[in-house]
Chain A
Amino acid sequence: MPEDARSFARQAREFLDAHATRASGTQFRWGEGDDTVAYFSADPEDVRDAKLRAAKAWQRTRYENGFGWISGPPEYGGRGLTPVHELTYNGIESEYDVPDTGTLSVIGLGMIGPTILAHGQQAAKDRYLPALYRGDIIACQLFSEPEAGSDLASLRTRAVADGAEWVLEGQKVWTSIAQHSQIGMALCRTDMDAPKHKGITAFLVDMSAPGVEVRPLRQMTGASDFNEVFLTGVRVPDDHRLGEVNGGWRVALTTLMNERATVGGARTGGVAESLTPDRFSALMRATGALDDRALRAELSGLLADMLATEHLNDRAARALQAGMTPGPERSVAKLMHGQNLTRAAHFVSRVLGPRIIADTGEWGTYAWAELLLATPALRILGGTEEVMKNILAERVLGLPKEPGTDATSPFRELPRSGRGTS
C-alpha cells in the first residue's frame, strides 16, 4: 500500500477506534438469536425509524471527522481523495459495529450526490451536498415508471416550463426510501417530438412540495420496501434542474453508472451472514439431512459458486486498488449474486421440505420463506438479467446490438403497450 494510503488507513482506524467498537464476531449457534433471513428489511416501522435515526447520526459523525464523503471535494465537506480510499475505509469500517447506513448511502450518497456534483447548479450544490453527506437529508431516485422499466428512456412523466419554474405531472414506481426522503432526483419528458433520449430533463424535487404523494408498494414478500410516487402539478424551480434542458439522459447515465457498482458486492445486506457453510450445514443437521448425498452435492455446487463469486469480487477490488481499470467483473458478480441467492433459497427449501410451506414454529425453518419470496427481485432490480447479458455480450464480447430498436423517431410516435402510439 502506498504511503498516503497507509497513513489514511491509520487515520481511519484512529477515528473508528474513537467512535465505535470492534465487531464481536459472535459464533453462529443453531437455535440462538434472531432467525430472520431477509434480503429486504422485515423490520416493523418503529424499528426502521430508530435504525434510520442511528444511521443519520453515524453519517454525521463520519462527516464531521472527514470520513463522510471521502472522494468528494473539500468545499462541500469532502476529503478530496479517490474511490480507492473509499474502498479502504469501507474495508476497515466493516470490522466495527456501526449502524448500517445503506439507506442513505446506496442511492443518495453513492448515486445522487455524485450526480448533483457533476450536473447541479451552484445553488443546488450548496444547498444539498453538505446536507446529504452530513446525513441531514436523504435522497431517492424517481426514475422508473409503470411503462418505463428496462426501457427507462421511454419515460413519460412530463415537465412543462412555466416562467422560472417547471410543472411536473406523472407517476414514478419502484422508488425505495421515498417515504424517508427529503429530495428526489426525477427524470421527466420535456420534448414529446424529439427522439426519446433527446427529450428528457433531470430535476431535484422537494419531496414535501405540494402535489408529491408517496404511496407504499406492496411486494411479493408482503412488506413494502418500495413506493409509487405520484407527481400532480408539482412546481420545481429552474435552479433545481440538473444538467441541460433535454440533456437529462446524460445526467441519468452518470447516476446509473454508479448504480451498477453498488448492487452486486459480496456483502450486500445482512443476508450474507445467513448464507455461510456453517449455517447451511447446521440447517441440514437440524433437519436430519446432513447425510443426504443429493443434497450434499447440491450444497457443494452452490457453495463453490458462492465462494468463486467472492473470489471474483475480491480480485476486482484488489485490481481497482492497484489502479487497474475494471473489467466485466462487477457485472458478472451482479449476475452471479442474483443466481446464487435464488439457488440458495431453493436449496434450503429442498432441505426444509414441508417446513417451508407452513410455520411449524421450529427455529430457523419457516424464516427462510422471506428470502425465497425476495429472490425474484434480485434477477430484476438494478438492471434485469436479460439486460445485463445484453450489455456483457455487446460491450465485452463485441456482439452487435439488436437491430430495429427505434431510437430516432419522435417520442410521440413510438408504440406503447396496449395501444398504438402516444
Chain B
Amino acid sequence: MKDDNEELGALREAVRDFLADKSPESAVRATMETGYDPAVWEQLARQLRLTGLVLPDDHGGDGFGLTELEVVLEEMGAALLVSPFFGTVVLAAQALLASADKAACARYLPGIADGRTTATLAVAEASGSWDAATVETRAERVKGDGPAGTEGGSPPCPEDAAEGWALTGKKSFVIDGSTADLILVAARTAAGLALFAVDRGAPGLHAGPMTALDPTRPLSVLTFDRVPALLVGGEGQGGALIGQVLDIACAGLAAEQAGGARRCLEMAAGYARTRFQFGRAIGSFQAVKHKCADMLARVELAEAAAREAARLADEAAAAFPVSAATAHITCSQAYMFAAAENIQVHGGIGFTWEHPAHLYFRRAKSSELLFGGPAAYHERLLARLGI
C-alpha cells in the first residue's frame, strides 16, 4: 500500500536505501552471530537521525510522530536489521516519556536521541508474560549514598543522593539485555509497581544471553542482587505505565511485522515469477497464484492496521488502544502466514539454512509471541473494547 504522502515516501526510501547498503543479508547473518554493528548504529543515529526521530525537540529529538516512526520500523523489519533500535526507541524511550518524569527524561533522552545511549525495558520474568501482575522483582529503599557505580551511564543527580533503591529479582526475555547501557526495570515496591533505571555496569547486576529462536533479536536473562536503581515516575504508577507502553510497543512491533510480511511476499512472488517447473513459471499454477494472492491480502491488511494505529496515536485518538491491539493481532498473523507460505512457495530451497526465508520465519514466530501471543493479545483487544 502506498504511503500517505510524499514526505513519508521519501523517508521510507532513505531508510530502505541505507539498510540495503548497511544491512544486506550478509550483514544480518554476521551481526546475528557477533552482535550489532556500532558503526551502523552511529550512522543511523547521527546521519539519519532516527534515534531522535520522535523525541521532543527539547531533549535533542526532531519531534516527529509515530506515523514517521512506523515507516522506519516497517523498513527495519523488512531488512531484519540487527540493532538496539526497537529496545531503545520503542520500549525505553517511550517508557520514559510515558512516565512524565522530567528529571529522568532530561537525564536519559538526550543520550538516546544522539545514539550515545542504548536502552531497553525489562518487564517479563520467568513466564515471559508482560502482565504487570506477574512481576515479582522487588525494589527496596536504601538510605545513604544513593546509587553507586555509574559506569557507562550519566552522572548521578544531587537530588537522589539522599535515598535510593535496590532491586532484587530476575527478568527474562530482555531485548538487548546484555548490551543496553540503560535498563528500565519494572519492580514492585510496598506501594505497588514502579519503573526503575539501572545502569549497565551496576553492582549486583548479572546479564546472561539466552539461546533464542530468532538470532536477530538478542534476548537476555538479567539477575538483580540488590542492584542500585533510580525511581522513574511515581511508586505505584508502574501498572498503568506498562499498559500504556505496551500499546505503543504493540503498534511499533506491528510495523516491523508488516514490513517483514511484505518482504516475504516480495520474495515469494519473485520466486513464483522466475522459477520454472513443468515448462512454465510456477506462479502460473493457480494453487501457487492463489497462495500469493492470499499473502497479498494479509499484507495489505497488516499495513493498513499498522499505519492506522500510528496515525491514531499521533492524533491522541481515543481509538488508539483498540487500533494498537488490532494491529498487533493482524500483523502477528499476517507475518507468520507470509513467512510460512514464503517457504512453501520456495519448496526445498526455502528450507535451507542459506536461504533467508527461515530468518523471517524465526522473526515472525518470535514477534508473534513476544508480548504473550494469542493467549494474551486476544484478551488485550477485548479488554480495550470493553468486552
Contacts and interface: CB of A to CB of B under 8 A. Distances in A.
Interface of A: 277, 280-281, 284, 290, 296-297, 299-301, 303-305, 307-309, 311-312, 314-315, 318-319, 322, 324, 327-329, 332, 335-336, 386, 388-390, 392-394, 396-403
Given A390-B286, A393-B289, A397-B293, A312 B329 contact: no
Contacts of B292: 393, 397, 399
A401 B284 CA distance: 6
Contacts of A336: 297, 301
Contact of B382 (A296, A311, A393, A394): A296
Contacts of B4: 315, 318-319, 322
Interface stretch (B33-41, B348-356, B373-381): B373-381
B324 to A, nearest CB: 11
Contacts of B323: 307, 311
Given A305-B330, A400-B273, A402-B284, A393 B293 contact: yes
Interface in B247-266: 265
Contact of B308 (A314, A328, A397, A399): A314
A141 to B, nearest CB: 26
Contacts, number: 138
A351 B47 CA distance: 55
B289 A398 contact: no
B301 A305 contact: yes
Contacts of B239: none
B326 A304 contact: yes
B326 A308 contact: yes
Nearest to B293: A389
A252 B297 CA distance: 27
20 contacts: A281-B385, A296-B378, A299-B387, A300-B329, A304-B330, A315-B4, A327-B2, A328-B296, A332-B297, A332-B301, A386-B286, A397-B265, A397-B269, A397-B272, A399-B269, A399-B283, A399-B288, A400-B284, A401-B284, A402-B284
Most chain B beta carbons < 10 A, residue from A284, A305, A311, A389: A311
B235 interface: no
B297 A335 contact: yes
A300 B381 contact: yes
Q: Closest 8 interchain pairs by CB?
A: A389-B293, A399-B283, A300-B378, A304-B329, A312-B304, A311-B308, A400-B284, A393-B289
A394 B288 CA distance: 12
Contact of B289 (A312, A328, A399): A399
Contacts of B297: 332, 335-336, 392
Contacts of B102: none
Given A390-B289, A399-B283, 17 more contacts: A277-B386, A296-B378, A300-B379, A301-B378, A304-B329, A304-B381, A308-B302, A308-B305, A309-B301, A311-B308, A315-B308, A332-B296, A386-B290, A389-B290, A389-B293, A399-B292, A403-B284
B305 A311 contact: yes
A392 B301 contact: no
Most chain A beta carbons < 10 A, residue from B289, B293, B379: B293
Contact of A319 (B2, B265, B273, B379): B2
Interface string B56-89: 0000000000000000000000000000000000
A315 B378 contact: no
B143 interface: no
Interface string B322-336: 110111011001000
A396 B2 contact: no
Given A390-B289, A392-B296, A399 B381 contact: no
B329 A399 contact: no
A296 B383 CA distance: 11
A293 to B, nearest CB: 8
Contacts of A335: 297
B294 interface: yes
Interface in B1-46: 1-2, 4-5
B296 A396 contact: yes
Contacts of B286: 386, 390, 402
A397 to B, nearest CB: 4
B375 to A, nearest CB: 8
A284 B281 CA distance: 49
Main secondary structure of the interface of A (DSSP, over half): helix
B280 A400 contact: yes
B101 interface: no
Nearest to A392: B293
Main secondary structure of the interface of B (DSSP, over half): helix
B300 interface: yes
Given A332-B297, A399-B292, A402-B284, A307 B326 contact: yes
A398 B294 CA distance: 15
A277 B382 CA distance: 9
B307 interface: yes
B322 A307 contact: yes
A329 B387 CA distance: 30
Contacts of A284: 387
Contacts of A304: 305, 325-326, 329-330, 333, 381
Contacts of B308: 311, 314-315
A311 B329 contact: no
A169 B31 CA distance: 72
Given A394-B289, A400-B281, A312 B381 contact: no
Given A314-B308, A400-B283, A389 B378 contact: no
Contacts of B378: 296-297, 299-301
Contacts of A319: 2, 4
Contacts of B289: 389-390, 393-394, 399
A311 B330 CA distance: 12
Nearest to A339: B297
Contact of A398 (B273, B305, B333): B273
A322 B6 CA distance: 12
A322 B382 CA distance: 34
Nearest to B307: A315
Nearest to A290: B387
Most chain A beta carbons < 10 A, residue from B2, B297, B386: B297
Contact of A329 (B284, B300, B325): B300
Given A327-B2, A399-B269, A312 B379 contact: no
B2 to A, nearest CB: 6
Contacts of A403: 280, 284
B261 to A, nearest CB: 13
Interface string B156-198: 0000000000000000000000000000000000000000000
Nearest to A304: B329
A46 to B, nearest CB: 39
A271 B269 CA distance: 36
Contacts of B296: 328, 332, 392-393, 396-397
Nearest to A388: B293
B329 to A, nearest CB: 4
Contacts of A389: 289-290, 293-294
A389 B327 CA distance: 24
A396 B300 CA distance: 12
A70 B387 CA distance: 42
Contacts of A329: 1, 300, 304
Nearest to A280: B387
Given A300-B378, A301-B329, A311 B304 contact: yes
